[in-house]
Structure 1
Amino acid sequence: MSVITFEKPIPHIGLADWFAKQWQGQQTNDTRRNDAFNLRHESRQLRNETKIRSDWDTYHNNLRLSDRVTELDRWKQTLLSCLQRLNTEVALLKDEKFSTERQLDALGIPLGVISECISIRDCRQGTELTYDDADTELKKELCLVENVKKLLIEKCQTTWEKLNKLEEVKFQLNLDINDKSEAFEIDKDQLTLDKNCANITFKIDPLRTVKGSIPYEAWLEHSQSTKELADNELADTLRLREALFVVRERAKNDMLAQRDRVDFTLRKRIYETQKARNETEWQQLKMREEMEKVHREIRALEDALMATTDALKLAETRLENRSYRPGFELARDESEKGLKDEVIQLRQTRQELQDKINCAKATYNALEDQQVIIDKELADKSHSLMTDIRCLDLRMRLRTGEFAGPPTSTDRNIELTRMEKEIPPI
């Protein structure tokens, strides 16, 4: 052996085993390549499916977010419209309340005037202090004004409570609008995010149910109930404003009608008093004329009585002187009989004249007493007349200020139809 060979001290395999080993390797390689091919195919399919699913999920969620943003904006605009209407109604209601309070404050004038008129007319004297129509109408007017005042106070109290309720509704609307505006901005910001943004990160527990969250149905019901609450309050406010306007106008019309009735009764009473005063003055004039006539008649009767006195003295003197006739000359002749008849007749005449004088004096005294009564009645009627005229003049204050009313029917129609702001200035 010229060449020395060395072999590894390990077992050697045969050729058949080597072919078998090679075939096994080929089979393993084919299997691994097939597995890799399948893996690559499945991976590509999975990548495509996940990408498509992710894109579609993102697209649908973007649509959902967009719909949600639109819904939030729609509800926000709806509530803003309600809030705007509510603010308008609150302003109008405050104006109505101010007008009602102004009319309530203005009631102090008619109350003072009516009270003063009643007090003035209560100062009438004698038979003029009567419960006439003017007194009755004045007291009715006082009761009417008191009832109007009470009604306006109740309406003002109701309006104040309604304004407080509207402020609560406004607070709820503002709170809901602010929440929706914040949610709108948050959801709108989410629409601007994508997978390439720098401010996206993993979160600790994004699938948790957030504390305080509510179902969508509850949110929708809350939004609808808020809008319904605002609509109901707006309807109530409109009815309240109309009620305030109706109460004010009805009270004003009632007071104007009662004012006209009182003024009419006062003018009627002034006319009746003037008529009675004129009648009393005429009676006074006639009474004075009659007193003058009676006084002249008394003087005439007294003169007649003085005349009969001298005649009686003459007749009695003749009789007395003829009683001194001597002897048989002292006869009861026709002269004596005539003189005696004359004395008797004169005495009877004097008695009649004296009785007539006494009767005339009594009549004169009665006329004088009646004249005093007439003078007192005339003074009372003049005082009553001046009292009613003063009351009528005092009531002219009711035709100024708040209770003056529009100067013309056209102005009144403009005021009733609320056309002041639509008519251009002249």
Structure 2
Amino acid sequence: MSYPGILLTKEPAPQTIPVSELPMKVYEVALNTGPDSSSGLATAGFRTAKYLPEEWNQHNYARYHEAFADRDHSERVRIESQNVAAFTAELAQRTQEDSTIKVGERLQDIHFWKSELQREIEDLTEETNLLAAQKLRLERAIDATEIPYSIAMDNLQCRERRLPPDLVKDQVEAELLKEAELIRNIQELLKRTVKQAINQIQLNRDHKEICEMDWSDKVETYNIDEKCGRYNNQSTNIQFHPNTSRFEDSASTPETWAKHSHDNIYRAEREKLASINLRALIDNILRDTAEDLRMQCNRVNEAFAKQLEVLEDAKHKLEHHLKKTLKEIGDQEHNIEALKQAIKDKETPLKVAQTRLYDRSFRPNVDLCRDAAQFRLVSEIEELTASIEALKKKLLESEQALRNLDDSRMHLEKEIAVKANSIFIDRQKCMAHRSRYPTILRLAGYQ
């Protein structure tokens, strides 16, 4: 329905037109006062309506204006809603992209510390294995020192079976005692070092476990953040989780989070450095102890060699003296026979004395002594009137000398047997046993 003089457009709501400003024709129709109006008694009942035409028009105009205002407001709200929706969509996309970037940056940080922890775990594992190998070397070295110690103790016990007077505390025994004490000290040092290595291995494993736990947390966190980074608006496994934006009281800060891994790696590096230093110390200990044992073994062997030379020389000298003693015994027996013959034959005392002096001049070394017999013979030459009693007396002295020579012969033979026994013990027992002395590599724990 249209009304003349009124345009219904989408322009802003028009102002209400006062009735006085309406065209006359419209005004007349509205007022029903024209020449063709039907006023009179016949229409009296119809003039009781509640609304007048102008009121009706005003009511319609009000509805028009209200509808126009509502449409205009709705259009503005719609445009604003579209703008807000576009802005919020762009904001949501930009925020989501920024969150994805932040999650990606966080993944890089987690990957960095995860890689550092993994490298530290691998280094600690390798270092622990190397230290365990060094501990095994120490244990082998301890086992290897048991052989030298048994050899030294066996040598000492064997040398206890030497016969007097060779049962002396000589240089060989002193070196053997030094060797036994050195071996015991080295064993104690190696045992203490083994305990230190065991403690260091346990520390390495403890810090490796700490790093592994931290690494495991990093792996789990990396997987979670990687899954979060793959979420997008098309993901099918997303849903509402109320109250998730609230921070946990126990949550760490990026600084404390990084410091935690840094401190774990720092402590692990410190233990790894201590383990490296301990391995170097073990190398030095094993090398030095092996060298000390071999040097002491050489000193003992040299002492044995010198002692054997002394024993051999003494044995040769004793044999030489025995040989001369046997010769002297024969000479003395001949001398006795000569005395008896002199007594028996009563030869000229001078001749007898000169012969005796001549014969006795062949006595060797210290036995060429101006003894009573010598004085007696000289006095016999000076005293040509020596009697037969002097010859008998000399005969008795010669017989005593022969008995003394027999005693000396037995003593020499006994001493030679003692020296032979000592040489047998040192050479056949001790030196033969010492040929099984471990090599320097075995003493260093390599075999």
Q: So what's the TM-score if we normalise by structure 1?
A: 0.81
Q: Distance in 2 between matches of 1:4 and 1:29?
A: 35
Deviations 1:44-80 (A, max 9, x none): 2211221122111111110111111121112111111
Deviations 1:3-44 (A, max 9, x none): 7786385412252x4554455445434433332233123212
Contact 2:151/2:434 (<8 A) preserved: yes
| Residue 264 of structure 1, aligned match among 302, 315, 319 | 302
Q: Distance in 2 between matches of 1:241 and 1:249?
A: 12
Contact 2:137/2:444 (<8 A) preserved: no
The RMSD of aligned alpha carbons is: 2.6
Shift of the alpha carbon at 1:170?
1.9
Deviations 1:255-274 (A, max 9, x none): 11111111111111111111
After superposition, the Cα gap between the structure-2 partners of 1:10 and 1:131, relative to the gap in structure 1 and judged at 3 Å, is: farther
The residue type paired with residue 200 of structure 2 is K
Name the SS for the 1:398 alignment partner: coil
Describe how 1:230-245 pairs up with structure 2 within 5 A.
230-245=268-283
Identity %: 22
Shift of the alpha carbon at 1:95?
1.0
Q: Distance in 1 between matches of 2:343 and 2:385?
A: 10
Alignment match, 1:340: none
Q: Distance in 2 between matches of 1:403 and 1:21?
A: 120
Q: Distance in 1 between matches of 2:219 and 2:322?
A: 93
The residue type paired with residue 398 of structure 1 is Y
Q: Distance in 1 between matches of 2:248 and 2:415?
A: 97
| Residue 207 of structure 1, aligned match among 216, 236, 245 | 245
Alignment match, 2:317: 279
Shift of the alpha carbon at 1:174?
1.6
1:83 maps to 2:117: no
Name the SS for the 2:333 alignment partner: helix
Q: So what's the TM-score if we normalise by structure 2?
A: 0.77
Deviations 1:359-394 (A, max 9, x none): 112222222222222122111111111111021111
Q: Distance in 1 between matches of 2:271 and 2:410?
A: 74
Q: Distance in 2 between matches of 1:209 and 1:2?
A: 87
Alignment match, 1:54: 92
User: Which of 289-298 and 44-53 deviates more?
Assistant: 44-53
1:172 maps to 2:219: no
The residue type paired with residue 52 of structure 2 is I
After superposition, the Cα gap between the structure-2 partners of 1:96 and 1:9, relative to the gap in structure 1 and judged at 3 Å, is: farther
Contact 1:277/1:382 (<8 A) preserved: yes
1:13 maps to 2:55: no
Q: Distance in 2 between matches of 1:88 and 1:301?
A: 97
Describe how 1:308-347 pairs up with structure 2 within 5 A.
308=346
| Residue 390 of structure 2, aligned match among 352, 372, 388 | 352
Name the SS for the 1:130 alignment partner: coil
Q: Distance in 2 between matches of 1:12 and 1:405?
A: 126
Deviations 1:229-257 (A, max 9, x none): 21111111111111111111110011111
Describe how 1:34-53 pairs up with structure 2 within 5 A.
34-53=72-91
Alignment match, 1:253: 291
After superposition, the Cα gap between the structure-2 partners of 1:66 and 1:168, relative to the gap in structure 1 and judged at 3 Å, is: same
Alignment match, 1:410: none
Q: Distance in 2 between matches of 1:353 and 1:253?
A: 72
After superposition, the Cα gap between the structure-2 partners of 1:179 and 1:9, relative to the gap in structure 1 and judged at 3 Å, is: farther
1:397 maps to 2:436: yes
The residue type paired with residue 292 of structure 2 is D
Alignment match, 1:320: none
Alignment match, 1:195: 233
Contact 2:286/2:444 (<8 A) preserved: no
Q: Distance in 1 between matches of 2:313 and 2:294?
A: 28
Q: Distance in 2 between matches of 1:404 and 1:285?
A: 49
Q: Give the length in aligned residue pairs.
A: 372
The residue type paired with residue 74 of structure 1 is F
Q: Distance in 1 between matches of 2:52 and 2:330?
A: 188
| Residue 28 of structure 1, aligned match among 66, 74, 78 | 66
Q: Distance in 2 between matches of 1:119 and 1:132?
A: 14
Q: Distance in 2 between matches of 1:8 and 1:91?
A: 117
Alignment match, 1:325: none
Q: Distance in 1 between matches of 2:289 and 2:277?
A: 18
| Residue 303 of structure 1, aligned match among 341, 351, 354 | 341
Name the SS for the 2:46 alignment partner: coil
Q: Distance in 1 between matches of 2:443 and 2:410?
A: 46
| Residue 176 of structure 2, aligned match among 108, 117, 138 | 138
Contact 2:145/2:443 (<8 A) preserved: no
Greater Rg by CA: 2
After superposition, the Cα gap between the structure-2 partners of 1:285 and 1:9, relative to the gap in structure 1 and judged at 3 Å, is: farther
Q: Which runs of 5+ in 2 are unaligned?
A: 1-39, 350-382
Contact 1:126/1:377 (<8 A) preserved: no
Shift of the alpha carbon at 1:142?
0.9
Q: Distance in 1 between matches of 2:47 and 2:122?
A: 102
After superposition, the Cα gap between the structure-2 partners of 1:387 and 1:276, relative to the gap in structure 1 and judged at 3 Å, is: same
The residue type paired with residue 156 of structure 1 is V
Contact 1:90/1:166 (<8 A) preserved: yes
User: Which of 270-279 and 396-405 deviates more?
Assistant: 396-405
Contact 2:286/2:443 (<8 A) preserved: no
Q: Distance in 2 between matches of 1:110 and 1:184?
A: 59
Describe how 1:381-420 pairs up with structure 2 within 5 A.
381-389=419-427, 390-399=429-438, 403=442
Shift of the alpha carbon at 1:209?
3.0
Q: Distance in 2 between matches of 1:3 and 1:19?
A: 25
Q: Distance in 2 between matches of 1:9 and 1:363?
A: 195
Higher helix fraction: Structure 1 or Structure 2? 1
